[in-house]
Amino acid sequence: DTEVTQTPKHLVMGMTNKKSLKCEQHMGHRAMYWYKQKAKKPPELMFVYSYEKLSINESVPSRFSPECPNSSLLNLHLHALQPEDSALYLCASSQESGRGQETQYFGPGTRLLVL
Amino acid sequence: AQKITQTQPGMFVQEKEAVTLDCTYDTSDPSYGLFWYKQPSSGEMIFLIYQGSYDQQNATEGRYSLNFQKARKSANLVISASQLGDSAMYFCAMRDLPSNSGYALNFGKGTSLLVTP
């Protein structure tokens, strides 16, 4: 089973709203990732969690706040977003065996529209 | 810095024909991994195939095969017997240089494939 689930599938929010994106995997993977993808562009890495600790933060604005409550869950808290933050947000996970050849498996994504 | 180049913004192929999607890469690391993903209009990134830099044979997964030419630094995806459902964006990606934890992927710009009846 290589399933990563994401909720919600679609989200519309105003610039003053607070919302959260949720990602879940039950493959025993120890690394989880958030990517942002604009239309007709490749995904861009935002955050990496490894063994539930934030290991990479690619200079993402503080209005995006990641959280990893346990090894299966990854949240992305959104606050005071801008219209340019509208994008597809993809979650991924991979095994963290240290060999460095692990495949990242992606969820279906959340399409976010900020009005 | 690592770089992935996909030079074909868009490709057309007729149903049941084979198609090759190009990918070249640049890295100074002798150990690396190359991945191909398919992204339909629904948005999900679907893993297709993996090639390790030390793998002796080209990777194959069903109708997908990877034409890996290490000296040329190319890792082209070959899709045989194209189907209408193969219409999608295809991304070539490379695992980033090893870090203490987590292995980010560097993606190419993608190739949009349209399979016609």
Inter-chain residue contact A108 with B42, CB threshold 8 Å = yes
Min Cα distance A44 → chain B (Å) is: 8
Backbone angle region of A80, left / alpha / beta, with phi > 0 → left and psi within -120 to 50 → alpha: left
> CB-side exposure of A81: number of CA atoms within 13 Å?
24
Inter-chain residue contact B35 with A103, CB threshold 8 Å = yes
Judging contacts by C-beta atoms under 8 Å, the chain A residues touching residue B103 are 31, 94, 100, 102, 104
Question: In chain B, positions 1-40, which contact chain A (CB-CB < 8 Å)?
Answer: 31, 33, 35, 37
Min Cα distance B112 → chain A (Å) is: 9
Closest in A31, A41, A88 to B43, CB measured:
A88
Question: Based on C-alpha coordinates, what's the Rg of chain B?
Answer: 14
Strands (E), chain B: 3-5, 10-14, 19-21, 24-26, 33-39, 46-52, 60-61, 64-69, 74-79, 88-95, 105-107, 111-116
Per-residue pLDDT of chain A (115 residues; tens, 9 = 90+): 669 999 999 999 999 999 999 999 999 998 899 999 999 999 999 999 988 888 877 889 999 999 999 999 999 999 999 999 999 999 999 987 655 568 899 999 999 999 9
Q: Are strands A31-37 and B19-21 parallel, antiparallel or unpaired?
A: unpaired
For B114, residues 6+ apart whose C-beta sits below 8 A from its C-beta are: B10, B11, B12, B13, B87
Instruction: Determine the residue type at A15.
Output: M
Instruction: Compute the distance between CA of residue A7 and CA of residue B54 in angstroms, rounded to an integer.
Output: 38
Q: A20 in contact with B at a CB cutoff of 8 Å?
A: no
Q: A104 in contact with B at a CB cutoff of 8 Å?
A: yes
- Using CA atoms, how far residue B43 sits from A40, A110, B18, B101, B110, in Å, is 11, 9, 24, 27, 13
Which of A47, A45, A91, A46 shows the shortest CA–CA distance to A72?
A: A91
Q: B59 in contact with A at a CB cutoff of 8 Å?
A: no
Higher pLDDT pick, A21 / B99: A21
